[in-house]
Structure 1
Amino acid sequence: MEHTATPKPLNALAPNGSAVEHIKDSSNYLRGNLVDDFHNPITGAISEDNVQLVKFHGSYMQDNRDVRLHRQDKKLEPAYSFMIRLRVAGGDLSAEQWVKLDDISNRYGNGTSRITTRQALQFHGIIKFDMKNTIKAMDAALLDSIAGCGDVNRNVMCTPDPTLSSFHAEVFPWAQKISDHLLPQSRAYHEIWLDEEQGKTLVAGGEAEEIEPLYGKHYLPRKFKIAIAIPPFNDMDVYANDIGLIAIEQNGKLAGFNVAVGGGLGFTFGREDTYARLASTIGFCTPEQVLDVCFHTVAIQRDYGNRQDRKLSRFKYTLDRHGLDWFKRELNTRLGFALGKVRPFEFETTGDRFGWRSTTDGLWHLGLRLEYGRVLDNDTHHLKTALREIAAQNICGFRMTGNQNLILTGVSEEHIGTVESILQTHGYASDASHLSGLRRNSIACVALNTCPQAMAEAERYLPELISKLEVSLDKHGLRHDEIKIRMTGCPNGCGRSVLGEIGLIGKSPGRYNLYLGASFNGDRLNTLYRENLDEAAILNTLDGLLAEFAAKRIESEPFGDFVVRKGYLASKHIQ
């Protein structure tokens, strides 16, 4: 519904403002008392206020939920640790950086690292007293975790195959440009973790003030996400973002970007006023205009987003509360020009490509399938060791994808054999063709045992569930069909479950809501089909649907489209 009255900016410190708004207000631009809290030897935790504040420094406090009750019985505090999330625009790392990050995971983390669904890298298991050393080690690798979390613009994503064409190569750097343009300016991170001397800017009256030209003292009402997709690939799930930029090619060059706004996938069980939303495409901008478009869109959310109820504070709710027409008028006024007409494009898939591909510069890159982004050595393969050995030879770059996979970039033909030999020696296949289409296209969030929001397993359980579903795939002749399944331990959306043709969202330990019918190319959300299913019910329900799909599909019809066409969602049964 469009509102005729002009809305007024919201007061960040209204009496009913959320507690987080008051934490930001009193934080002295994200400093708070983090230094003292991280030096407190009495506990492995930090205060509740600082749990919120440290997110702006790219970290979440967690505890090992597998041992929580046991420690409670022993009258011990929870096994606290910290997750640190790097900011890596476009997911691009050098071989030297990969080696240094591998060292960090071994020395300070739990011996693994994890590629996220936003092309970033996370370390888990960092204890409180190693935080500073970890961040210093990241800095030595020319990397940081600023804006990895918190109420700011997060890691900017981009389709990660820039060498497939000169057009890709022209688009890819915009991820870094946008990330830098929207980066918080507070020096708190550098002072607290890197021992930079605190500096102050004097304004009229001699009062010290930190200047945040975009975010101001209170930053954003909630997190903000931006992604760039290069058609025909929507591997970034561009419509899931607050700003989705769709690169438009003209005569082999970047003409500009179609601009989509208001995407966001998280919701809250039991609150019908929360929901997933795909971004709405509102216009076109040139490359010269895109930084201003992003800046002013973020600024509008800063000024008009809900700062009272954090469940309703994402940009999607701001848009729906005031209307798209109001937003476009406000944006055009701030920009001083109107966006152009949306230009035609077409998306084919949200999936990644695996195996070797030649590039326009005569080199090769290799798309590797990782199981939910986890870089580790286990009983079946030593991927972590293999990637380190490849990186140590400095024969390629490393580019993380939005589907938790990895691309080895810029490999010369003479080094292909070396890469293949190292992977084979450590039990890892360079080709994903031996995996089922369902497994190749699966995504899972971390969930248990570390995420405090998780209601059920995801990363640790989905491989086992897929093995059982593969029995049905084989029975119905569907093993090699590309079907997209995604699992999250809660409805917050980290694994983009609501964009899976099959989506499973944890409701309680061992039980999941089943969602069906998202599109293969990412332009349609799925719909709740069955609620609170245990494993047996999931397997039985999907076996029946897969049997129908095999028997009645139209040639090349994706599973999500089939479910919609046959009307299964119209007869959904919610318990």
Structure 2
Amino acid sequence: MSTHSPDPTATSKPKLTRDEQIKADSQYLAGEIAQELADESPSFGTETLKLLKFHGTYQQDDRDQRSVLRKQGKEKAFSMMVRCRIPGGRLTARQFLAHLDICDLLGNSTMKITTRQTIQLHGVVRRDLQQTIRKINAIGLSTLAACGDVNRNVMCCPRKQNDPVHRELQRLADALAVSLAPQTSAYHELWVTDVQTGERMFASHTPSDPSGDESDGGAEATSNVEPLYGPTYLPRKFKCGIALPADNCIDIYTQDLGFLAVVRDGRVIGYNVLVGGGMGTTPSQKKTYPAVAKRLAFCTAEQAVDVAKAVLIVQRDNGDRSDRKVARMKYLVDRWGIETFRQHVQRLLNFPLGDCTEDDVQDVDDHMGWQAQDDGLFSYGLSIENGRVKDQAAKQLKTGLREIVNYLGTEVRLAGNQSLIFCDIRTDQRQRIAEILVANGIRPTEEVSMARRYAMACVALPSCGLAITEAERRLPRLIDDLERELARLGLCAKRFTIRMTGCPNGCARPYVADIGLVGKAVDRYTIYVGGTLLGTRLAFSYRDMVAASDLVPQLVQLFTAYKHHASDGESLGDFCNRFGDGLAAIVDDTAAGPTVDGPTSI
């Protein structure tokens, strides 16, 4: 298929906005980055910061220090966040251990496992940025396209199995990561090439080579030409993922583009293609909203990459470039309708799209705890609270993870719930892993409550510049309090999702959770309810501007009403969704009335 096929219905392009002009003038993401890297300023210029996102890094500052530094007449405490691109979250032991080394050597000694199966390093000062990205490339990984107006890290079910189904999911994840990656040579010229000799310093994970072995990539990979993206890339970020109907562990309905595997007789015969998901919103602007994806079409496994390119091209050529707040593909899908969107995708393909099969999301597996692989070995999913890996006095998590990975020497996989999975474990190694966890004060997954195990939080304060209030630092204490109340109510065994974000951008995907806690103002949140563990339905606003101190009491009232009024087997999200706008009245009535015996099983 032609990556630059003209759209016969496209209208004339309006004058470029500043963001679009920066991309157009950047010479395929090079801009003035090299010049700014060479000077001694503690921060980068505005235009360079926008381009650096495409290279996988954001500038941040320690917001805990802002007021003190301001009083002292000093600049903000600037540093860089560096994000890796790790398709499907699959890492070798060496790559995982290298990240632990880098965060100690060049970062703030912590690392963050993200909600998109990758790793973020925080606290990298400007003078160490180039060295950090070089070290990441030296282990066969890349930061290119981990951020920016391009396809970002490809999510995929992380379960370690060698059956035909999981092999196909992993094959497609790698193929999408390569096929949808930017081809600009600016990345390697800036971060991988020795600036004095002009020579490649080491083999790196280039877009043309998913194995991590060095490759020249051909003319397209080494020239400043973007055959898929063009000089202005996409109107906004683009996210895609691959899931199974029986295991939607990556929240496929929140992706711009999703491939839901259709399995027959133990093999993937194709995919139901979903388009138009996205979590970000600006509550003060009604034109913005979260959305779950819509079912577009069926394609065979062999056609999936071409379909992905076609969907991306339709967004590239028709997404709103005049207003970044409505530039995500979900707005284009809603504006056109799914049938018109499908027609535009079909025009770019030389094969007919089929209609979606009846296959849809049915369940979720978080892949935590011990799971048997199909080769006689085991995987162990370790629940990492909010994905933050660090050593503390009572819990030496980073030290313990290093010891386990050194001991096993096998693959590590990152799950979409900010946790990790140790793979290829022999039966005789299981006891030693348990001993390492205990010795380092790390709670094994089997001792983690369901409330905590299915919870997620974004970074928020102090490093995220968009955060309005706390998330990662607040959620653990909230769950501490909530666990006691759930035990009193007899609801400890229930599976439900709690997701907290410091702003409405929704990085922890709160708008499809059973309970979403979204920062609205300083120490105040909107409580969303009515999503599902399956991640297929949007939650709705239940209480607004709730003080942080009142979150647990509000949730306890909600859980009390759930205990007394839910139908047998009804999930928390389904219960909330059933009552809808009347939920608050039911909760208030339950809180005001006498305690009654509820159903024996819900």
TM-score (norm 2): 0.89
Q: Flag structure 1 segments of 5+ consecutive residues without an equivalent.
A: none
- Equivalent residue for 1:170, pick from 159, 168, 171: 168
Instruction: Report 1:7-406 matches (<5 A).
Output: 7-9=9-11, 11=13, 14-15=14-15, 17-41=16-40, 43-163=41-161, 165-195=163-193, 197=198, 210-350=224-364, 352-406=366-420
Measured after TM superposition, the shift of residue 508 of structure 1 is: 1.6
Distance 1:521 1:494 in 2: 17
Measured after TM superposition, the shift of residue 164 of structure 1 is: 7.1
Q: Flag structure 2 segments of 5+ consecutive residues without an equivalent.
A: 1-6, 201-218, 587-602
Measured after TM superposition, the shift of residue 386 of structure 1 is: 1.2
Give the SS at the match of 1:377. coil
Distance 1:192 1:535 in 2: 44
1:532 is matched with 545
Measured after TM superposition, the shift of residue 322 of structure 1 is: 2.0
Given that residues 301 and 318 in structure 1 are in contact (C-alpha distance below 8 angstroms), is that contact kept between their aligned partners in structure 2?
yes
Measured after TM superposition, the shift of residue 67 of structure 1 is: 0.2
Give the SS at the match of 2:467. coil
Deviations 1:295-349 (CA, angstroms, capped at 9, x unpaired): 1110111100111100010001111222222111111111122211212324344
Measured after TM superposition, the shift of residue 173 of structure 1 is: 2.2
Given that residues 395 and 415 in structure 1 are in contact (C-alpha distance below 8 angstroms), is that contact kept between their aligned partners in structure 2?
no
- Equivalent residue for 2:505, pick from 486, 492, 500: 492
Given that residues 445 and 489 in structure 1 are in contact (C-alpha distance below 8 angstroms), is that contact kept between their aligned partners in structure 2?
yes
Distance 1:535 1:301 in 2: 39
Give the SS at the match of 1:231. coil
Measured after TM superposition, the shift of residue 63 of structure 1 is: 0.3
Deviations 1:466-489 (CA, angstroms, capped at 9, x unpaired): 112223212211122112100000
Distance 1:198 1:312 in 2: 42
Deviations 1:430-473 (CA, angstroms, capped at 9, x unpaired): 3x232222111101000000000000100000111111222321
Cα distance change on mapping 1:10 and 1:288 into 2, 3 Å? farther
Distance 2:582 2:456 in 1: 23
Tell me, yes or no, if structure 1 residue 550 matches structure 2 residue 563.
yes
Q: Which amino acid aligns with 1:37?
A: E
Measured after TM superposition, the shift of residue 536 of structure 1 is: 3.7
Give the SS at the match of 2:246. coil
1:510 is matched with 523
Measured after TM superposition, the shift of residue 415 of structure 1 is: 2.1
Cα distance change on mapping 1:240 and 1:9 into 2, 3 Å? farther
- Equivalent residue for 2:451, pick from 404, 423, 438: 438
Give the SS at the match of 1:408. strand
Distance 1:174 1:572 in 2: 47
Distance 1:509 1:408 in 2: 38
Given that residues 239 and 278 in structure 1 are in contact (C-alpha distance below 8 angstroms), is that contact kept between their aligned partners in structure 2?
yes
Q: Which amino acid aligns with 1:36?
A: Q
How many residues of Structure 1 are paired with residues of Structure 2 in the alignment?
558
Cα distance change on mapping 1:159 and 1:9 into 2, 3 Å? farther
Given that residues 527 and 569 in structure 1 are in contact (C-alpha distance below 8 angstroms), is that contact kept between their aligned partners in structure 2?
no
2:591 is matched with none
Give the SS at the match of 1:566. helix
Deviations 1:18-41 (CA, angstroms, capped at 9, x unpaired): 211011111111011111112221
Measured after TM superposition, the shift of residue 7 of structure 1 is: 4.0
2:599 is matched with none
Give the SS at the match of 1:84. strand
Distance 2:437 2:539 in 1: 37
Instruction: Report 1:472-483 matches (<5 A).
Output: 472-483=485-496
Give the SS at the match of 2:385. coil
Distance 2:46 2:11 in 1: 28
Cα distance change on mapping 1:312 and 1:572 into 2, 3 Å? farther
Given that residues 89 and 415 in structure 2 are in contact (C-alpha distance below 8 angstroms), is that contact kept between their aligned partners in structure 1?
yes
Deviations 1:356-413 (CA, angstroms, capped at 9, x unpaired): 1111111100011001111111133211111111222343211001110101011122
Distance 1:232 1:391 in 2: 29
Tell me, yes or no, if structure 1 residue 408 matches structure 2 residue 422.
yes
Distance 1:355 1:209 in 2: 46
Measured after TM superposition, the shift of residue 351 of structure 1 is: 5.1
Distance 2:466 2:154 in 1: 24
Cα distance change on mapping 1:9 and 1:123 into 2, 3 Å? farther
Give the SS at the match of 2:430. helix
Give the SS at the match of 1:410. strand
Measured after TM superposition, the shift of residue 267 of structure 1 is: 0.5
Measured after TM superposition, the shift of residue 571 of structure 1 is: 5.4
- Equivalent residue for 2:432, pick from 401, 411, 418: 418
Given that residues 395 and 440 in structure 2 are in contact (C-alpha distance below 8 angstroms), is that contact kept between their aligned partners in structure 1?
yes
Given that residues 408 and 425 in structure 2 are in contact (C-alpha distance below 8 angstroms), is that contact kept between their aligned partners in structure 1?
no
Deviations 1:196-248 (CA, angstroms, capped at 9, x unpaired): 6499xxx9xxxx97211100000000000000011211110001001011011
TM-score (norm 1): 0.94
Distance 1:401 1:283 in 2: 27
Given that residues 372 and 444 in structure 1 are in contact (C-alpha distance below 8 angstroms), is that contact kept between their aligned partners in structure 2?
yes
Tell me, yes or no, if structure 1 residue 466 matches structure 2 residue 465.
no
Measured after TM superposition, the shift of residue 539 of structure 1 is: 2.3
Q: Which amino acid aligns with 1:66?
A: D
Give the SS at the match of 2:446. coil
Q: Which amino acid aligns with 2:228?
A: L
Distance 1:136 1:540 in 2: 48
Distance 2:585 2:348 in 1: 45
Given that residues 160 and 379 in structure 2 are in contact (C-alpha distance below 8 angstroms), is that contact kept between their aligned partners in structure 1?
no
Distance 2:160 2:577 in 1: 34
Measured after TM superposition, the shift of residue 79 of structure 1 is: 0.3
Deviations 1:232-291 (CA, angstroms, capped at 9, x unpaired): 111100010010110111111111111000001100121000001110011111111000
Give the SS at the match of 2:386. coil
Distance 1:468 1:420 in 2: 27
Distance 2:565 2:581 in 1: 13
Question: Alignment RMSD, CA only?
Answer: 2.1
Cα distance change on mapping 1:399 and 1:572 into 2, 3 Å? farther
* 418-427 vs 361-370, greater mean Cα deviation: 418-427
Measured after TM superposition, the shift of residue 414 of structure 1 is: 2.5
Given that residues 306 and 312 in structure 1 are in contact (C-alpha distance below 8 angstroms), is that contact kept between their aligned partners in structure 2?
yes
Deviations 1:479-512 (CA, angstroms, capped at 9, x unpaired): 2211210000011110101111111100122110
Given that residues 9 and 303 in structure 1 are in contact (C-alpha distance below 8 angstroms), is that contact kept between their aligned partners in structure 2?
no
Q: Which amino acid aligns with 1:528?
A: S
